[in-house]
Amino acid sequence: MSAGRSTNRIGCVQVMRCAHWLAPLTVLLAVTLPHLGDGDWMRGDSGWYAAIGVQACRTGQWWTLWEAPGREYFNKPPLVFWIQGTWMSLAGIGAWQARAATIAAAALCVLAASGIARRIHGRRVALLAGALLAINIEFFRRTREISLDMWQCAFMLLGAWMMVSILGRTTGVWWRTLLAGAAIGSALMCKPFVALAAPLILGLWMVTTTTGAHRRRALIVSCAVPVIAIAVALPWHLSMISIHGDAFVSQYFGREIADRASGELIGGQRQTQPAWFYIANAGAAWTMWLAAGILGFAGCWRPHPDARGRRLRSLGIAWSLAWLVLLTAFPDRRDRYAIPMHAGLAITAASLLTGRSRSVASANRWIPVAAVGTGLALSLLPIRFQRPIHPQWPALTAWLGSNAPDGVWDGAFSGAPAARIYLETGAWPRTTRDRKGNMNASPPAGAILLYHRRGGWSPGEGEVIAWTEGDLIATRLEKPPWSPIPTPDPGE
């Protein structure tokens, strides 16, 4: 009996040592797996991103991505498309396959947030930091889509974790610095430039919170990480400039960066969001604040943290405020950009939930149980996590199967709408314009052309409407030449 008790005791200790990352992952899965296959997973840009990635895997054209036949995709770097395309080519094309990769990125975010808190304050606070981020509705709702921002945040937090792990160490500094630089470089390969803010924020915090030799080491590390990150991301960017020249530069550095930074409306926006947009977004994370409040009521709240709590709190506040300021200064404000800010808010809240050890230990035990119960309830309840597929899309697929055996042409159907056709049929609509909008192909008589309400064009003379539903129109060109009518984008 004594040997059995000893074995059970050892097993419990091992589980408790892993609880700081197992429990947050349990919480994350509890709120992301229920109804995973429901709703329209191709809404927004998700279908487009999936199609670009899957096409790269099918054709082997990994370095230069393509958004349609003969039209390169220069909007974003390729890393997420490589990940998503490889995964969906193996697992299949569908809702759960698309979302599973984003859940994996969210899991990395949660693990990194827990790791940062673990390094500064210990396992119990690490569990709380990861769990609070996982339960944040403004965080986990992004897993219902293919999210470049989630992957970018995952790599930034992994880099931040490696930088924080250097604090107080005299050995293993350089390999951690290399890993931090590689992680930030990977983030740069998800979206342009933004990730360079992460090592600058962490570096400034490290330098201002250390002294003596540790400060000098922190200064060197905070300078080395961005250099390594740039070295990781630079080859792809230079090769794109070398291969594609002005076509890449004007799209990648012009429309995707300069135009957004200047406040130009992009993607059908009617107006930019107000300056307080991200403050409201932080308040919208009500599930995290509710969970923190319950934990505080249970006795975990400590209004005056100890030295470790103050240090973790200063990091969380610095990270959150820095991202709040940077994101607010950028005129193109979107709620999905705020994922890094929410990670900082979770760490800040966890730094205050370090009260009586018995209360925290009790929370460590019931958080996973509550998460599993919540997940089961969400799975059984008829809750709608995302809008259902609009009837126009299956209706179009069915109509095309009977009326367009030789394929269709892009009348005003490029981007996300065309991606749906590719994912459903395996073939893109035939392109009619180059990336600047100039016509480069003329459909023949009898061709079927597809239009979307927001495509910028509507049917012209010589076309007969063959089918229409919702935002979609299919026409047959009876009298060439094709001459569509320019139509302003009505917006979202």
Distance CA 274, CA 328 (A): 9
Question: Residue range 210-233: average pLDDT?
Answer: 91
The conformation of residue 56, written as its DSSP 8-state character, comes to H
**pLDDT recorded at residue 50:** 95
Q: Cβ atoms within 10 A of the Cβ of 439, count?
A: 13
- Token reading at 50: 């999936």
Side chain identity at 316, as an amino acid letter?
A: G
Q: Which residues have CB under 8 Å from 462's CB, separation 6+?
A: 477, 478, 479, 480, 481, 482, 483
Across 167-176, 181-190, 280-289, which has the greatest mean pLDDT? 181-190
Q: Are strands 457-461 and 71-72 parallel, antiparallel or unpaired?
A: unpaired
Place 165 in a pLDDT band, splitting at 50, 70 and 90: very high
Distances (CA, A) of 265 to 248, 270, 435, 456: 21, 7, 18, 15
**pLDDT recorded at residue 381:** 64
| Contact predicate 421/427, CB 8 Å | yes
Q: Is 220 helix (H, G, I), strand (E, B) or coil?
A: helix
Question: Residue range 421-433: average pLDDT?
Answer: 89
Residues 418, 422, 426: CA angle, nearest 5 degrees: 160
Question: Residue range 335-351: average pLDDT?
Answer: 95
Q: Is 388 helix (H, G, I), strand (E, B) or coil?
A: coil
465 compared with 385, residue with greater pLDDT:
465
Q: Which residues have CB under 8 Å from 426's CB, separation 6+?
A: none
Nearest Cα residue to 161 out of 124, 126, 210: 126
Distance CA 210, CA 163 (A): 13
Place 362 in a pLDDT band, splitting at 50, 70 and 90: low
Nearest Cα residue to 141 out of 382, 378, 313: 378
Residue 359 pLDDT greater than 60, yes or no: no
**How does the average pLDDT of the chain come out, rounded?**
86
Distance CA 111, CA 223 (A): 25
Place 26 in a pLDDT band, splitting at 50, 70 and 90: confident
Percent of the chain with pLDDT over 90: 49
**pLDDT recorded at residue 171:** 80
Q: Are strands 448-452 and 409-412 parallel, antiparallel or unpaired?
A: parallel
Q: Is 82 helix (H, G, I), strand (E, B) or coil?
A: helix
- Rg (C-alpha) for the chain, rounded Å, is 25
Question: Residue range 252-264: average pLDDT?
Answer: 69
Residue 261 pLDDT greater than 70, yes or no: no
* Dihedral-angle region of residue 459 (phi above 0 means left; psi in -120 to 50 means alpha; beta otherwise): beta
Place 167 in a pLDDT band, splitting at 50, 70 and 90: confident
* Dihedral-angle region of residue 263 (phi above 0 means left; psi in -120 to 50 means alpha; beta otherwise): left
Nearest 5°: phi and psi at 356?
-55, 135
Question: Residue range 250-276: average pLDDT?
Answer: 70
Residue 371 pLDDT greater than 90, yes or no: no
2-6, 254-258, 337-341, 435-439: which has the minimum mean pLDDT?
Answer: 2-6
Nearest Cα residue to 401 out of 474, 469, 483: 474
Nearest Cα residue to 181 out of 194, 165, 196, 201: 196
Total number of residues shown for the chain: 492
Question: Residue range 41-46: average pLDDT?
Answer: 88
**pLDDT recorded at residue 12:** 43
SS3 content of the chain, % helix, strand, coil (to 5): 65, 10, 30
**pLDDT recorded at residue 204:** 94
Distance CA 44, CA 144 (A): 11
Specify the pTM.
0.90
- How many CA atoms does the CB half-sphere of 366 hold within 13 Å? 9
| Burial of 150 (C-beta count, 10 Å sphere; 0-12/13-18/19+) | buried
Place 111 in a pLDDT band, splitting at 50, 70 and 90: very high
- Token reading at 8: 């059970």
- Token reading at 48: 């487009």
Nearest Cα residue to 300 out of 371, 362, 372: 362
Question: Residue range 277-303: average pLDDT?
Answer: 84
